[in-house]
Amino acid sequence: MLPSELEGIHDVFHISMLRKYVPDPSQVVQFDSKQMKIESNLSYKEEPIRILARDVK
CB 44 within 8 A of CB 37: yes
pLDDT of residue 5: 78
Residue of 23, 45, 22 lying closest to 35 (CA atoms): 45
Rounded to two decimals, what is the model's pTM? 0.23
DSSP letter string over 31-53?
A: --TTT--B-TTS-B----S----
- Alpha-carbon distance of 54 to 48, in angstroms, equals 13
Domain regions of the chain by residue span? 1-46
Residue with the bigger pLDDT between 42 and 50: it is 50
pLDDT of residue 32: 67
Is the pLDDT score of 2 beyond 70? no
pLDDT of residue 36: 64
**Over residues 48-57, mean pLDDT:** 83
